[in-house]
Copies of this chain bind each other. A is one copy, B any other.
Amino acid sequence: MYASLPKTAPIVQKYGGTSVGTGERIKAVAERIARQWRDGYHHLAIVVSAQSGETNRLVDMMRSVNPNASGVAYDMALAAGEQVSVALMSAALEAQGIKALPLLAHQLGIHTDELHAKARIRHIDTDLIERGWKRGAVAVIAGFQGVNSDHEITTLGRGGSDTSAVALAVALKARFCEINTDVDGVFTADPRLVPSARLIESLEYETAFEMASLGSKVLHPRCVELAAKFHMPLIVRNTFTSDSHRRTRIMPQSATGSLEELVVSGVTTDRQIAKLTLTGLRQDSAVISEIFQSLGELGINVDIIVHDKPHADQSLRLGFTIASSDLAAARKVIAELAASKGYDSLNIVAEGGLAKVSAVGVGMRSYAGVAGRTFNALTSQGIVIHMISTSEIKISVVVDEAEATRATQALHREFVGD
């Protein structure tokens, strides 16, 4: 498995919610880890997520007693999910005859800032892990959680366990961080939408970050961002595949060797997008910033923004996308803002049922004609483009959600090839 790795090198492995979703799976993972330990790799740090569904269950329970539950209590409830996974994985390792050192964030010392539900890791103490290794124990560490300077439990937000694993790999000076999940790696498109989608062997951080941000569910963008910042290679692989060559490596650009070609690495699909269009506003920058600030305070992420000033008059037309689940709250806060500030002429049009399809690739910046090819690929299929947004390494289009699969297939055919 780790043929080229010295046996004393620290190895950080993260197992996600589906990998620990049942007792049987936990036992299978523990067997895999025990095999590695018996093969002589004794410096193992295992980061685990909550069992799949568990975080949602805990959130639902909290909402049932308090729809606005947040802060200390909220994080305390959610952290119980990873706590149970750590205990289960440790017990399963012990059943394999392997010593386990179960560690919660406050025990190990995964120190974060004060922000509940979206804390950021400041630093990780590794003493206990290294002391555990000295006495032959595999460290099993709770992902997703941290502790702040008031000794309160914090959580890192969704995707936080990946971030925990990368931060730990950095702290332990591991050579890479292994993300074990329920798919073989990152694909050129979602294989459920595009049957010809291929596993990507290697990706550089920037592309992986865009793909993660644009709806590829395999990795969380924040984890990729952190890995890039510390040049920590990520290896994304399937927990239950023994083929060590079937995986995606994510690493610095220089290592991927694909600088000169146009490589659209993949096509991503993000459903449940809504669009808000605001019209009737005077050309007044304070309005826009107030609206975006209010949305930000509610944690509503504004994605594609299309701002097109009609040249004939002084009124503003602003369109932007958000997650469908945020639509009601966004309409409400904008209406309240309009009422309190006297923006009487403001008109809000909301459209749900949209999806965003993006082609992502590092070579894109140097290739002309990408927008034209995108338009052509979609319109030739009769697919209506609601919005379009480009950056140096991606092009995104917003289409009707019902067209998401066909649009993904069309862009995959155009840029990746079937």
Chain A contact residues, CB within 8 Å of chain B: 23, 26-27, 30, 58, 61-62, 64-69, 71-74, 76-77, 79-80, 83-84, 86-92, 94-95, 100, 102, 104, 106-107, 151-153
Closest to A78 in B: B87
Q: Is the CB of A91 within 8 A of B65?
A: yes
Of the residues B72, B76, B102, contact of A73 by C-beta under 8 Å? B102
Please state if A92 and B66 are interface contacts (CB–CB under 8 Å): yes
Give the residues in chain B near A84, CB-CB below 8 Å.
58, 61, 77, 80
Measured CB to CB, the nearest residue on chain B to A151 is B107
Indicate if the CB atoms of A62 and B91 lie closer than 8 Å. Answer: yes
A64 touches B100 (CB 8 A): no
Distance (whole angstroms) from the CB of A180 to the closest CB of chain B: 17
A73 B61 Cβ-Cβ under 8 A = no
Contacts A68-B95, A72-B102, A107-B151 hold; do A62 and B77 have CB atoms under 8 A apart?
no
Number of copies: 2
Pick the contact of A62: B69, B79, B87 (CB < 8 A).
B87
Alpha-carbon separation in the docked complex, A332 to B308 (Å)? 82
Are A91 and B79 in contact, with the CB atoms below 8 A? no
A94→B76 contact, CB < 8 A: no
Chain B hits for A67, CB < 8 A: 95
A62 and B88: CB pair below 8 A?
yes
In the bound assembly, the distance between CA atoms of A13 and B91 in angstroms comes to 34
Cα–Cα distance between A89 and B62 once the two chains are bound (Å): 9
What are 24 A-B contacts defined by CB distance under 8 Å?
A62-B87, A65-B95, A66-B92, A66-B94, A69-B94, A69-B95, A71-B94, A72-B102, A73-B88, A73-B90, A73-B91, A73-B94, A73-B100, A74-B87, A76-B83, A76-B86, A77-B83, A77-B87, A77-B91, A80-B83, A80-B84, A104-B153, A106-B106, A107-B152
